[in-house]
Homo-oligomer: A and B are copies of this chain.
Amino acid sequence: MQSLENKILLEGQVLSDEILKVDSFLNHQVDPFLMREIGEEFARRFKDEAITKVLTIESSGIAPATMAALQLGVPLVFARKKKSLTMADQYYKAEVFSFTKRETTLIAVGKPFLNADDHVLIIDDFLANGQAAEGLIDVVQQAGAHVVGIGIVIEKAFQDGGTRLRQSGFRVESLARIASLQDGAISFVKKEKV
């Protein structure tokens, strides 16, 4: 998505070979016009999939996922990150390990909000090692629901999450795919023909 790549080049800060900071428009400050455009693009790519629900994880996924849900005309559910879980039997839950934070988080979705007949589009702001996406897939599958695909705003294609998810048969649509952050320079994966 050209406007997203432009925004990343203009405002993204490369903190290391692995870390791209985009908190001026996605993770902390949020550009609502770009979020709307992102939502429209996800809806366009997945429009033939009879999606019934969008699922993301708090917090940075919520803005783009709300816009995608609006465009698709379906509810959004955001998984909660929990330290511990009271009334654990009321939730589908999974453990997600964060490589950046070096900690495991419990994510939880209330059972009423995912059903066996749901066709779920998972959306997240970043895809790196794929732990968050895999946790969300796990939660969807516990409900007996179907994962239609995974929509990612920014994929760090030099980390292995995207490859692993695609090899497992999931359709992953990333609106920007970073090939490298080496030497402080942002380069994108060259477009394949659509």
Q: Mark A residues whose CB is within 8 Å of B.
A: 23-25, 28-33, 35-36, 58-59, 62-63, 66-67, 69-70, 73-78, 80, 109-110, 112-113
Contact = CB atoms under 8 A, between A and B. Distances in A.
17 contacts: A24-B112, A28-B110, A29-B75, A29-B110, A30-B62, A30-B69, A30-B77, A30-B78, A32-B66, A32-B75, A36-B70, A59-B80, A62-B62, A62-B63, A62-B66, A63-B63, A66-B67
Main secondary structure on A side of the interface with B: mixed
Given A28-B80, A59-B80, A63-B63, 14 more contacts: A28-B77, A28-B109, A28-B113, A29-B75, A30-B77, A32-B67, A32-B70, A33-B73, A35-B66, A35-B70, A62-B62, A62-B63, A62-B66, A66-B66
B110 A66 contact: no
Contacts of A112: 24
Contacts of A32: 66-67, 69-70, 74-76
Given A36-B70, A66-B35, A59 B78 contact: yes
A35 B30 CA distance: 16
Nearest to A72: B32
Nearest to A83: B83
